[in-house]
Amino acid sequence: MSKLHFNDGVSIDTSGPLRVLRLKDGFYVVGQGMCVPVDSREDAVAYIKELQGE
């Protein structure tokens, strides 16, 4: 399991399938060992589809 830990107490598990995560500072695409900030939920879904080759 891969986890990112931030000074503000937030921890993000980057293992597992790609998914959308919403935190107080915005949206992220998380999974497969990465955590990528995106502008919106729609952008997150589009990015996941792009990564999956859809």
Break the chain into its structural domains and give their ranges. Answer: 3-51
Q: Please state, in angstroms and rounded to a whole number, the distance separating the CA atoms of residues 13 and 6.
A: 12
Q: Please state, in angstroms and rounded to a whole number, the distance separating the CA atoms of residues 17 and 35.
A: 12
pLDDT of residue 1: 73
Encode pLDDT of 7-52 as tens digits: 999 999 999 999 999 999 999 999 999 999 999 999 999 999 999 9
pLDDT of residue 11: 94
The more confidently predicted of residues 1 and 41 is: 41
